[in-house]
Amino acid sequence: MAQDLDPWRLFSASPQEESAFRLLSAHLTAQGQHVALRGKPDDERARYEALFEVDAGVLTVDAHLSVDGMDWFVDHTMVPLPGSTWIPSAMRVASETLNRLLVRAVLLSPTGGLLVTVTPQQGKVKERNRYFARVVALAEQAARSGQPVFDTEDPRFDPISAYPVAEPWTPTDPSQPVMLSFALPEPLQVRHRLTPQGWVHDLGPAGDALARPLHEKLTDHKEKTGGHGQLRRAAELGLRTGLVLDARVGWQPPALHTENSPPRRPSPAIAPLHPDVARHLMREATSLYPGVLKRAWLVNADDTVHEVYAGV
Protein backbone atom coordinates (compact mmCIF):
# COMPACT_ATOMS: atom_id res chain seq x y z
CA MET A 1 0.00 0.00 0.00
CA ALA A 2 1.35 3.43 -0.94
CA GLN A 3 2.25 5.61 2.04
CA ASP A 4 0.65 9.04 2.37
CA LEU A 5 3.64 11.37 2.45
CA ASP A 6 1.71 14.65 2.44
CA PRO A 7 2.77 16.35 5.71
CA TRP A 8 -0.34 18.57 5.65
CA ARG A 9 -2.37 15.49 6.58
CA LEU A 10 -1.06 16.04 10.11
CA PHE A 11 -3.36 19.06 10.41
CA SER A 12 -6.54 17.13 9.57
CA ALA A 13 -7.83 17.57 13.13
CA SER A 14 -6.95 21.27 13.30
CA PRO A 15 -8.22 23.01 10.14
CA GLN A 16 -7.73 26.57 11.39
CA GLU A 17 -4.08 25.86 12.19
CA GLU A 18 -3.66 24.30 8.74
CA SER A 19 -5.28 27.34 7.12
CA ALA A 20 -2.98 29.71 9.01
CA PHE A 21 0.21 27.81 8.12
CA ARG A 22 -0.81 27.48 4.48
CA LEU A 23 -1.39 31.24 4.34
CA LEU A 24 2.01 31.84 5.97
CA SER A 25 3.65 29.47 3.49
CA ALA A 26 2.00 31.28 0.56
CA HIS A 27 3.05 34.66 2.00
CA LEU A 28 6.70 33.64 2.31
CA THR A 29 6.65 31.98 -1.12
CA ALA A 30 5.33 35.21 -2.66
CA GLN A 31 8.38 36.93 -1.18
CA GLY A 32 10.61 34.56 -3.12
CA GLN A 33 11.39 32.14 -0.29
CA HIS A 34 11.21 28.38 -0.62
CA VAL A 35 8.94 26.92 2.06
CA ALA A 36 8.21 23.31 2.97
CA LEU A 37 6.36 21.76 5.89
CA ARG A 38 8.62 19.18 7.52
CA GLY A 39 6.44 18.02 10.37
CA LYS A 40 4.16 18.77 13.31
CA PRO A 41 6.15 18.27 16.53
CA ASP A 42 3.09 18.55 18.78
CA ASP A 43 1.48 15.54 17.04
CA GLU A 44 4.71 13.65 16.24
CA ARG A 45 6.24 13.75 19.68
CA ALA A 46 8.04 10.39 19.54
CA ARG A 47 9.68 11.33 16.24
CA TYR A 48 10.97 14.67 17.53
CA GLU A 49 12.01 13.29 20.91
CA ALA A 50 14.24 10.84 19.04
CA LEU A 51 15.41 13.43 16.51
CA PHE A 52 16.59 15.92 19.14
CA GLU A 53 17.19 13.42 21.97
CA VAL A 54 14.90 15.29 24.35
CA ASP A 55 12.46 14.20 27.02
CA ALA A 56 8.75 13.86 26.36
CA GLY A 57 6.87 17.16 26.22
CA VAL A 58 9.90 19.34 25.49
CA LEU A 59 9.37 20.09 21.79
CA THR A 60 5.63 20.63 21.20
CA VAL A 61 5.32 23.51 18.73
CA ASP A 62 2.72 23.24 16.00
CA ALA A 63 4.84 23.26 12.83
CA HIS A 64 8.37 22.50 11.66
CA LEU A 65 9.00 24.53 8.51
CA SER A 66 11.96 24.69 6.18
CA VAL A 67 12.42 28.24 4.85
CA ASP A 68 15.20 28.58 2.27
CA GLY A 69 16.79 25.47 3.72
CA MET A 70 16.72 26.70 7.32
CA ASP A 71 14.63 24.95 9.96
CA TRP A 72 12.01 27.01 11.77
CA PHE A 73 9.82 25.82 14.64
CA VAL A 74 6.62 27.84 14.60
CA ASP A 75 3.69 27.86 16.99
CA HIS A 76 0.13 28.98 16.30
CA THR A 77 -2.03 30.89 18.76
CA MET A 78 -5.45 32.46 18.62
CA VAL A 79 -5.60 36.10 19.64
CA PRO A 80 -8.74 36.32 21.76
CA LEU A 81 -11.19 39.17 21.46
CA PRO A 82 -12.09 39.83 25.11
CA GLY A 83 -15.55 38.47 25.88
CA SER A 84 -15.85 36.86 22.44
CA THR A 85 -16.56 33.22 23.27
CA TRP A 86 -20.18 33.60 22.17
CA ILE A 87 -19.37 35.29 18.84
CA PRO A 88 -18.62 32.27 16.59
CA SER A 89 -21.96 30.58 17.36
CA ALA A 90 -23.80 33.91 16.95
CA MET A 91 -22.13 34.34 13.54
CA ARG A 92 -23.31 30.89 12.47
CA VAL A 93 -26.88 31.68 13.56
CA ALA A 94 -26.83 34.98 11.66
CA SER A 95 -25.41 33.33 8.55
CA GLU A 96 -27.93 30.49 8.51
CA THR A 97 -30.88 32.78 9.26
CA LEU A 98 -30.08 35.62 6.87
CA ASN A 99 -29.15 33.39 3.92
CA ARG A 100 -32.65 31.96 4.25
CA LEU A 101 -34.51 35.24 4.86
CA LEU A 102 -32.78 37.27 2.14
CA VAL A 103 -34.00 35.16 -0.79
CA ARG A 104 -36.70 37.67 -1.82
CA ALA A 105 -34.38 40.67 -1.47
CA VAL A 106 -31.83 39.00 -3.74
CA LEU A 107 -34.45 38.52 -6.44
CA LEU A 108 -35.13 42.27 -6.34
CA SER A 109 -31.46 43.26 -6.60
CA PRO A 110 -30.46 44.70 -10.01
CA THR A 111 -27.05 43.00 -9.68
CA GLY A 112 -28.36 39.60 -8.60
CA GLY A 113 -26.71 39.80 -5.21
CA LEU A 114 -26.40 41.74 -1.94
CA LEU A 115 -23.55 42.63 0.38
CA VAL A 116 -24.96 42.74 3.91
CA THR A 117 -23.10 43.83 7.05
CA VAL A 118 -24.43 42.56 10.36
CA THR A 119 -23.44 42.49 14.01
CA PRO A 120 -23.51 39.14 15.86
CA GLN A 121 -26.38 39.15 18.33
CA GLN A 122 -26.70 37.99 21.92
CA GLY A 123 -29.92 37.95 23.87
CA LYS A 124 -33.33 36.38 23.54
CA VAL A 125 -34.56 34.73 20.36
CA LYS A 126 -37.27 37.39 19.93
CA GLU A 127 -34.68 40.16 20.09
CA ARG A 128 -32.42 38.43 17.56
CA ASN A 129 -35.32 37.82 15.19
CA ARG A 130 -36.37 41.46 15.47
CA TYR A 131 -32.85 42.50 14.49
CA PHE A 132 -32.74 40.05 11.56
CA ALA A 133 -36.10 41.32 10.31
CA ARG A 134 -34.75 44.88 10.34
CA VAL A 135 -31.67 43.82 8.38
CA VAL A 136 -33.88 42.09 5.80
CA ALA A 137 -36.06 45.20 5.45
CA LEU A 138 -32.99 47.36 4.84
CA ALA A 139 -31.65 44.81 2.35
CA GLU A 140 -34.92 44.89 0.40
CA GLN A 141 -34.73 48.70 0.39
CA ALA A 142 -31.20 48.50 -1.05
CA ALA A 143 -32.33 45.99 -3.65
CA ARG A 144 -35.27 48.13 -4.79
CA SER A 145 -33.28 51.36 -4.92
CA GLY A 146 -30.08 49.88 -6.28
CA GLN A 147 -28.20 52.03 -3.73
CA PRO A 148 -26.39 51.42 -0.43
CA VAL A 149 -28.66 51.74 2.60
CA PHE A 150 -27.56 52.89 6.07
CA ASP A 151 -29.26 52.20 9.38
CA THR A 152 -29.55 55.76 10.65
CA GLU A 153 -31.60 54.62 13.67
CA ASP A 154 -28.75 52.46 15.01
CA PRO A 155 -27.53 54.11 18.25
CA ARG A 156 -23.94 53.64 17.04
CA PHE A 157 -24.58 55.35 13.69
CA ASP A 158 -21.85 57.84 12.86
CA PRO A 159 -22.44 59.76 9.60
CA ILE A 160 -18.69 60.32 9.18
CA SER A 161 -17.54 56.70 9.39
CA ALA A 162 -20.75 54.76 8.78
CA TYR A 163 -20.84 51.69 6.56
CA PRO A 164 -23.97 50.55 4.72
CA VAL A 165 -26.00 47.71 6.17
CA ALA A 166 -26.88 46.53 2.68
CA GLU A 167 -25.89 47.35 -0.88
CA PRO A 168 -26.22 45.71 -4.30
CA TRP A 169 -23.33 43.39 -5.09
CA THR A 170 -22.44 41.30 -8.13
CA PRO A 171 -21.70 37.73 -7.02
CA THR A 172 -18.97 35.74 -8.74
CA ASP A 173 -21.01 32.60 -8.09
CA PRO A 174 -24.75 33.03 -8.81
CA SER A 175 -25.52 30.12 -6.46
CA GLN A 176 -24.23 32.23 -3.54
CA PRO A 177 -25.83 35.65 -4.05
CA VAL A 178 -25.45 36.93 -0.46
CA MET A 179 -22.10 38.11 0.88
CA LEU A 180 -22.25 38.56 4.64
CA SER A 181 -19.78 40.80 6.42
CA PHE A 182 -19.61 40.92 10.20
CA ALA A 183 -18.93 43.96 12.36
CA LEU A 184 -17.59 43.70 15.89
CA PRO A 185 -20.31 44.11 18.53
CA GLU A 186 -17.93 46.23 20.63
CA PRO A 187 -14.89 47.33 18.63
CA LEU A 188 -11.61 47.49 20.50
CA GLN A 189 -10.97 50.98 21.77
CA VAL A 190 -7.37 51.78 20.89
CA ARG A 191 -5.86 55.10 21.96
CA HIS A 192 -2.91 56.27 19.87
CA ARG A 193 -0.35 58.65 21.42
CA LEU A 194 2.70 60.17 19.78
CA THR A 195 5.62 60.11 22.24
CA PRO A 196 9.30 61.07 21.79
CA GLN A 197 9.93 57.35 21.15
CA GLY A 198 7.18 57.13 18.48
CA TRP A 199 3.55 56.08 18.40
CA VAL A 200 2.17 54.20 21.41
CA HIS A 201 -1.02 52.13 21.15
CA ASP A 202 -2.97 51.92 24.40
CA LEU A 203 -5.48 49.06 24.45
CA GLY A 204 -6.56 49.64 28.03
CA PRO A 205 -7.87 46.57 29.92
CA ALA A 206 -8.24 44.60 26.66
CA GLY A 207 -4.48 44.71 26.19
CA ASP A 208 -3.86 42.24 29.02
CA ALA A 209 -6.28 39.70 27.52
CA LEU A 210 -4.73 40.05 24.07
CA ALA A 211 -1.18 39.71 25.40
CA ARG A 212 -1.82 36.68 27.62
CA PRO A 213 -1.48 33.98 24.91
CA LEU A 214 1.77 35.59 23.73
CA HIS A 215 3.26 35.47 27.22
CA GLU A 216 2.21 31.83 27.62
CA LYS A 217 4.31 30.91 24.57
CA LEU A 218 7.44 32.81 25.66
CA THR A 219 7.46 32.61 29.45
CA ASP A 220 9.59 30.48 31.75
CA HIS A 221 6.66 30.05 34.14
CA LYS A 222 3.24 29.20 32.65
CA GLU A 223 0.26 30.03 34.85
CA LYS A 224 -1.30 26.56 34.78
CA THR A 225 1.72 24.27 34.86
CA GLY A 226 4.57 26.43 36.11
CA GLY A 227 6.68 25.15 33.21
CA HIS A 228 8.26 26.91 30.26
CA GLY A 229 6.23 28.02 27.24
CA GLN A 230 6.42 26.05 23.97
CA LEU A 231 8.61 28.58 22.17
CA ARG A 232 10.93 29.09 25.13
CA ARG A 233 11.53 25.33 25.27
CA ALA A 234 12.30 25.29 21.55
CA ALA A 235 14.62 28.29 21.84
CA GLU A 236 16.48 26.61 24.70
CA LEU A 237 17.28 23.78 22.27
CA GLY A 238 18.93 26.34 19.99
CA LEU A 239 16.10 26.25 17.42
CA ARG A 240 14.81 29.16 15.33
CA THR A 241 11.37 30.04 16.61
CA GLY A 242 8.38 31.77 15.07
CA LEU A 243 4.82 32.57 16.10
CA VAL A 244 1.63 32.88 14.04
CA LEU A 245 -0.96 35.16 15.65
CA ASP A 246 -4.38 34.17 14.31
CA ALA A 247 -6.90 36.98 14.77
CA ARG A 248 -9.73 35.30 12.86
CA VAL A 249 -12.55 35.12 15.40
CA GLY A 250 -15.34 32.89 14.11
CA TRP A 251 -13.31 31.35 11.26
CA GLN A 252 -15.03 28.43 9.54
CA PRO A 253 -13.56 25.92 7.08
CA PRO A 254 -15.10 25.84 3.59
CA ALA A 255 -18.11 23.55 3.45
CA LEU A 256 -17.62 20.26 1.64
CA HIS A 257 -19.16 19.78 -1.78
CA THR A 258 -22.06 17.33 -1.88
CA GLU A 259 -23.68 15.76 -4.90
CA ASN A 260 -26.96 17.64 -4.53
CA SER A 261 -25.68 21.09 -3.59
CA PRO A 262 -22.69 23.28 -4.44
CA PRO A 263 -20.12 24.02 -1.71
CA ARG A 264 -21.16 27.05 0.32
CA ARG A 265 -18.73 29.84 1.02
CA PRO A 266 -18.20 30.08 4.81
CA SER A 267 -19.10 33.27 6.59
CA PRO A 268 -16.14 35.61 6.94
CA ALA A 269 -14.33 35.82 10.25
CA ILE A 270 -13.91 38.90 12.42
CA ALA A 271 -10.39 40.16 13.01
CA PRO A 272 -10.11 42.55 15.96
CA LEU A 273 -6.40 43.28 15.63
CA HIS A 274 -4.72 45.85 13.37
CA PRO A 275 -1.15 44.90 12.34
CA ASP A 276 0.28 48.00 14.05
CA VAL A 277 -1.40 47.02 17.32
CA ALA A 278 -0.06 43.47 16.93
CA ARG A 279 3.45 44.89 16.45
CA HIS A 280 3.02 46.89 19.64
CA LEU A 281 1.94 43.77 21.55
CA MET A 282 4.88 41.81 20.18
CA ARG A 283 7.39 44.51 21.11
CA GLU A 284 6.10 44.53 24.67
CA ALA A 285 6.05 40.73 24.97
CA THR A 286 9.49 40.13 23.47
CA SER A 287 11.05 42.84 25.63
CA LEU A 288 10.08 40.75 28.67
CA TYR A 289 11.48 37.53 27.17
CA PRO A 290 14.52 38.54 25.10
CA GLY A 291 16.11 36.01 22.78
CA VAL A 292 13.18 33.58 22.71
CA LEU A 293 11.43 34.57 19.48
CA LYS A 294 12.89 35.28 16.04
CA ARG A 295 9.82 36.20 13.95
CA ALA A 296 6.06 36.58 14.25
CA TRP A 297 3.25 37.00 11.74
CA LEU A 298 -0.38 38.08 12.02
CA VAL A 299 -3.11 36.32 10.01
CA ASN A 300 -6.10 38.60 9.49
CA ALA A 301 -9.73 37.90 8.60
CA ASP A 302 -9.16 38.73 4.92
CA ASP A 303 -6.47 36.00 4.83
CA THR A 304 -3.66 38.53 4.55
CA VAL A 305 -0.44 37.85 6.45
CA HIS A 306 1.62 40.62 8.08
CA GLU A 307 5.05 40.32 9.65
CA VAL A 308 4.68 41.85 13.11
CA TYR A 309 8.03 40.99 14.67
CA ALA A 310 11.55 40.33 13.41
CA GLY A 311 14.18 39.71 16.06
CA VAL A 312 17.91 40.05 15.75
If you average pLDDT over residues 34-56, what whole number do you get?
93
CB contact at 8 A, 193 and 205 = no
Q: Between the CA of residue 258 and those of 98, 194, 230, what are the distances in Å?
A: 22, 54, 39
pLDDT in tens, 4-15: 458 899 998 899
Distance of CA 143 to the CA centre of its chain: 31
pLDDT in tens, 77-91: 987 666 667 777 888
pLDDT in tens, 95-135: 889 989 999 999 999 999 998 988 888 888 999 999 999 99
Q: At what angle do helices 87-101 and 125-145 cross, to 10 degrees?
A: 50
Burial class (CB in 10 A: 0-12, 13-18, 19+), 307: middle
Phi, psi (degrees; rounded to nearest 5) at 236: -70, -15
If you average pLDDT over residues 281-301, what whole number do you get?
91
pLDDT of residue 263: 45
Q: How many CB atoms lie within 10 A of CB 46?
A: 8
Q: Domain residue spans in the chain?
A: 7-81+190-310, 87-182
How much of the chain, in percent, has pLDDT values that exceed 70?
A: 79
pLDDT in tens, 253-265: 765 544 544 444 5
Three-state SS at 73: strand
The Cα 142–Cα 120 span in angstroms is: 21
If you average pLDDT over residues 244-273, what whole number do you get?
63
Its pTM stands at: 0.69
Half-sphere exposure of 10 (CA within 13 A, CB side): 18
The Cα 82–Cα 88 span in angstroms is: 13
| Higher pLDDT among residues 223 and 288, named by residue | 288
pLDDT in tens, 170-212: 988 888 898 888 776 665 555 656 667 666 666 666 667 677 8
The Cα 165–Cα 142 span in angstroms is: 9
CB contact at 8 A, 28 and 35 = yes
The Cα 93–Cα 106 span in angstroms is: 19
Question: Which pairing describes strands 305-310 and 295-299: parallel, antiparallel, or unpaired?
Answer: antiparallel
2 pLDDT band, cuts 50/70/90, is very low
Is the pLDDT at 240 greater than 90? The verdict is yes
164 pLDDT band, cuts 50/70/90, is confident
